[in-house]
Amino acid sequence: MANKETKTVDFDKLRKTVEVGVRMQDNVIDATPYFLPENKHQALGERRVGLGVMGLHDLLIYCETNYGSEEGNVLVDKVFETIATTAYRASIELAKEKGSFPFLVGEEDGETNRLREAFTQTGFMQKMPADILEGVKEYGIRNSHLLTVAPTGSTGTMVGVATGLEPYFSFSYFRSGRLGKFIEVKADIVQEYLDSHPEADANNLPSWFVSAMELAPEAHADVQCVIQRWIDSSISKTVNAPKGYTVDQVEKVYERLYKGGAKGGTVYVDGSRDTQVLTLKAEENTFDENEEVEPKEKGKVVLVDTINDLRSTDVTIGNEVGNTCPVCREGTVEDLGGCNTCTSCGAQLKCGL
């Protein structure tokens, strides 16, 4: 949707794509096989679809606009307003052609009008232009919900764009994948920029090549809230926070999301789990190719008559009472105050409470 020459959004193309997307997704509802009557009744009754986005950060980069900036949020707001209003107008046109979604059709006189009136009074619909509100009241609308933002993690990576509405985690990172423990991923858009700008420094890219970890958590939250304004369903978005982010700071981010109108939110503090899908470096996940790995010692044949002599020097290292401490290898593990504790270094190895 980006015009790379003018560094602007092609809004005409965006509107046409949304119109086609809404009609296509509405057709999918009828083409889908439903295995349970209850599923079929619900799906055909509300005709819910979820038109979303992928590569939002790429669009902003092509427009030379910083993700998370005030200018960026103004452009994001306009993009999603265009998507939302176009989708709702397209669904109203489908209602004229094929009828409204059944749950908006009443069985008694005047009930349909009351349902349509109630539909236009929801908080989300109050943001819509007058022509959409009047269209729903007069013709109904084909779909109860039209918009969502899915994460698209695997598909976005596969086609080489930023996933969902997320900024690039980094422009060179390692991703945990099904085909390999850690796969190095480099963003295609960086190489594209360097090819078209030979004078550019790969290590000093323009400011609009901002990564997720360079953004303040508040900036992440604000982008989500701007987009939620125009999404009638849910959004998949991660607020990335740096290592050491406190519980109080995380709480304030959730409060910011709530006050900004987000329906939900995820705050991920870097390094807060033993393993994570995305990481900036692979040192913790693999070993250096030049690192020497000590070969395992081959087993030796031990003569039967020497076993008793060897057993006299056996030492059991573990956390049970009577074992040698596995931490300092000096003290003995004893039951002290309900815990298996080393008598030398004081390490508490096992609690019996």
* Strand 266-269, strand 238-241: pairing: parallel
- Contact between residue 47 and residue 97 where contact means Cβ atoms under 8 Å apart: no
What's the structural domain count of the chain? 2
Low-confidence stretches of the chain (pLDDT beneath 70): 173-186, 274-314, 337, 352-353
CATH code: domain of residue 166: 3.20.70.20
CB atoms < 10 A from the CB of 246, how many? 10
pLDDT tens-place string over residues 195-210: 999 999 888 999 999 9
Mark whether 260 and 317 lie in a shared domain.
Answer: no
Enter the DSSP assignment of 234: -
What residues does 183 pair with on adjacent strands? 175
Mark whether 159 and 235 lie in a shared domain.
Answer: yes
CB atoms < 10 A from the CB of 322, how many? 11
Mark whether 284 and 310 lie in a shared domain.
Answer: no
Mark whether 282 and 340 lie in a shared domain.
Answer: no
Torsion sign, CA atoms 42, 43, 44, 49: positive
Mark whether 112 and 257 lie in a shared domain.
Answer: yes
Whether residue 119 lies inside any domain: the answer is yes
How far apart (Å, rounded) are the C-alpha atoms in residues 318 and 332? 10
pLDDT tens-place string over residues 119-174: 999 999 999 999 999 999 999 999 999 999 999 988 888 888 999 999 998 887 66
Mark whether 49 and 125 lie in a shared domain.
Answer: yes
Whether residue 335 lies inside any domain: the answer is yes
- Contact between residue 44 and residue 31 where contact means Cβ atoms under 8 Å apart: no
Domain that holds residue 87: 1-293
Mark whether 117 and 149 lie in a shared domain.
Answer: yes
Mark whether 159 and 247 lie in a shared domain.
Answer: yes
Global confidence as pTM: 0.75
Mark whether 49 and 154 lie in a shared domain.
Answer: yes
Whether residue 299 lies inside any domain: the answer is no
Tokens of 122: 């929801």
Q: Which of 226, 264, 218 is nearest to 80 (CA)?
A: 226
